[in-house]
Each structure stands twice: as structure tokens, then as C-alpha cells.
Homo-oligomer: A and B are copies of this chain.
Amino acid sequence: MSPALSQLGRRTMEPPISWLMRTALERPGLISLAAGFTDHDSLPVDEAHALLDELLGSPNTGRPALQYGSTVGDPRLRQLTAQRLAELDPATRANYAPDQLLMTHGSQQLLYMVTEALCDPGDIVLVEDPTYFVFLGIMQSHGLCGRGIRLAADGLEVGHLEETLQSLKRSGALPQVKLLYLVTYHQNPTGRTTSFEKKAAALDLLKCYERSAGHPLYLLEDAAYRELRFIGTDIPSALAAAKAGERVIYAGTYSKPFATGARIGFGLLPKPLFKVVARIKGNHDFGTANLIQQLLSRALATGQYAKHLPVLARRYAAKAQVMDQALREHFPAQVQWARPTGGLYFWVRLPRSVKSGSTSPLFSAALASQVLYVPGEMCYVTDPARRKPNHEMRLSFGNASEADIRTGIARLGLVLQQRLARAGD
């Protein structure tokens, strides 16, 4: 007798990330350029050690860290986070109130809870084309429909967003649209950063369609990679736009820039939404592990966190440079990519004739050569308006060593040369 699953239970697929991780585990010696894991050698072991030593060195600070906290999060961490965000954005501080900040178990949890709070099966979420595949998993499990907005080098094509909204309005589907999800900094998977102007333009556009939708259209800004910049300077978040506080949901994280093993993310939400998502958080786990929140509080307050960022930036800059160099050396001339200015990923475009999907000969040949990548098609939402492109790949330089990046890219290059030679037959 098999279980009588709920609709969500039946819809929820194995996340591609689990499949990729299992594939990597089953093949010792495999070089994974697929995982979104962070750099191993630069993990702040000594820093975390010293901070926890201080924290647990006295019962006065140790006991509160080992006790339950509140559902919304540690007050000091909320304060420090609000301060930090306000410092990053040269804008009115009105949008950075600590009491609209919810600390979460990774920013992923925030994405999940926002989806739960806003979306019913059949609702529509606008996403970038391509976008973060785990968010696509959340959408799929909740029975949501998607529309992909084309992506330029500086973020979404605002014209295409407008066309899409217009077409949804014409078909009467606008009331089903709940939010626009953008990964705005060093995007997963393309590495691209959305300009502030485009974020502001997107917000304005959404506003124009609210009357037809009959409700607020939110911009969910996923800034997970914001602090992993290694070239250029930070740009303001969508929160810095006029009246953004009412329509922007900002998802941030301390996991990627500090330690992914200490899962702390956060969300800054418009007040009416904050209340609802905080209630949902109460049902999920009534609050994120206090020990880790206090570790991060201390890392922020002592300046250790800020000191760690340039260390990371140097490290990822070097690894990105190695990957870029290897791609130039080993990849055929027809292959295209742009060098990222932050984050963990290269987005590589093959000639359209070469399929890169998980059932493609290229993917099998890569696996046979002991190298794993994320097939580009996994990063596209199912959209009635287009077929999923199937000639791209996401390559991560986050976790692999420099030697493995060189070897992995050389192997992939060889496999690609072979596929291209065949395609030319």
C-alpha cells in the first residue's frame, strides 16, 4: 500500500541538486563543477573558533546562545543586519527597519515561506530566463506556473517584462500573478548583475499592472551573492528605489559570504507580509538556531565578518581567473561565456546544435570523462511561450580546487571538441 500523499507531496520532485550531489558521491574521482558549494580553504575556521570561544567562554553569553530565541530572530542580529543593509545602500533608511527583518535558516527558507504566503496552485511567478533552479523546485512543488523574462548582460529585459505583463493582462491571467523573482547580484546561474535602473524600472512596471491584477505585485529580490563580488563596486538594492519598502521582498544571507555550514539567511519584508511570513516561520520551527545567530551577531559586531569579505573576494577572483584561462585554452572558439564579476558561476553557451541536457551525449561523455556540470535547461522555467534552451551549462568555480578547475575544464574541452566534430560531420 503506498502512502496517500498530499498534492504538494505528489508534485514535489527530487531537486536536481540532490541528483547532482548523488552523482558526484557515486563517482569518486569525479571533478564536480556542478555544486554550488563554497570555497573550502577560505572557510573562516579560526575566526568562528575565536568567536565561539568568546561566546561560550562565559555563562552570561553562553547560556542565551544555547537557549531558544524568538521566532523572528535575535534582536541584536536584526539590528546589525538592518544597519549593514542601510550602509550598503545609499538611500533613505526608511526601508531598513529591524522590525521588518526576519532571520531564517538560510535564505532558501525565506524563498519557501514567501511562496507559501503568497501563492496558490495555478498562480503565476515571473522569473529570469534562466533562473535559480531550486526556486523552480519550490514553484513546482506548489503547483505554480512560470513565465521566463529574458536576461541581458545588465539584468532582465524590461521590454520583455512589459510584453509579458501585457500578454497576461490580455489573457485575463494577471490576477494570478503574485511576484517577480530576480537573482540580482552575480546571478545563479549566469553570473549577471541587474543594474539599479532596471530594478527600479521593473518596480514601476509592476506598479502599473497592479490595478488590473487587483493586488500588490511584489519584487522578490534574491541577493544571495551580493557580498561575493570580486570586481567593481556594489550597486544599490531594489530597496533603495522610491516606495520600494511596500513592494520589495529582499532575501539575503550570511551563509555564502561567511560559512555555508552556519545557515543564516534573512528577509526584509513589507509590513503586511512580514506578519504573515513570521507566523509561517512560527509553524516551521519557531525560530532559527540561536547559537548560530549569536555567532553571526558577534562576527558582525567585531568586524570579523567585514574582514572576511576581501579574503573571499581575492580567493574567488583567483579561481574565476583560473577558470577563464582554462576555458580560453581548452574550449572551442564557437563557445561563448562572459567573465563574472562575482558569485560562483560561469555561464557557457555552446552552439545551438550541441545539446547539453542531462540526457544528451555531451553530458554522458562528460560524466565518462569524470567531470560534472549543471545542464543549462535545468535553470529554465516551463513557459508556454518558448521551448527550454538546451545548449548551455553552468560551471562553478566555488568549491573545486584550482588544479581541479584546470583539469575539469580541459576534460570538458576535449569532450566538446569531439561533440562539435561530430555535429560538423
Contact = CB atoms under 8 A, between A and B. Distances in A.
Interface in A245-280: 259-263, 270, 272-273, 276, 278-280
A26 interface: no
Contact of A285 (B36, B56, B108, B282): B108
A329 interface: no
Contacts of A53: 49, 52-53
Nearest to A36: B68
Nearest to A6: B120
Nearest to A62: B45
A30 B291 CA distance: 26
Interface string A1-34: 1111111110011110110010000000000000
Given A4-B178, A285-B105, A289-B289, A48 B56 contact: yes
A115 to B, nearest CB: 8
A143 B119 CA distance: 15
Contacts of A276: 3, 5, 9, 12
Contact of A105 (B12, B68, B289): B289
Contacts of A49: 52-53, 56-57, 62
Interface residues of A, number: 89
B108 A105 contact: no
A261 B66 CA distance: 4
Contact of A284 (B5, B108, B214, B260): B108
28 contacts: A3-B272, A6-B118, A6-B123, A9-B118, A15-B279, A18-B278, A40-B67, A45-B59, A48-B291, A49-B56, A52-B52, A53-B53, A66-B262, A67-B259, A67-B260, A68-B260, A69-B261, A105-B284, A108-B284, A137-B283, A138-B283, A262-B289, A262-B291, A263-B287, A263-B288, A263-B289, A289-B292, A292-B292
Contacts of A14: 279, 282
A414 interface: no
B283 A6 contact: no
A215 interface: yes
Interface in A32-53: 36-38, 40-41, 43-46, 48-49, 52-53
Contact of A116 (B9, B37, B286): B9
A109 B9 contact: no
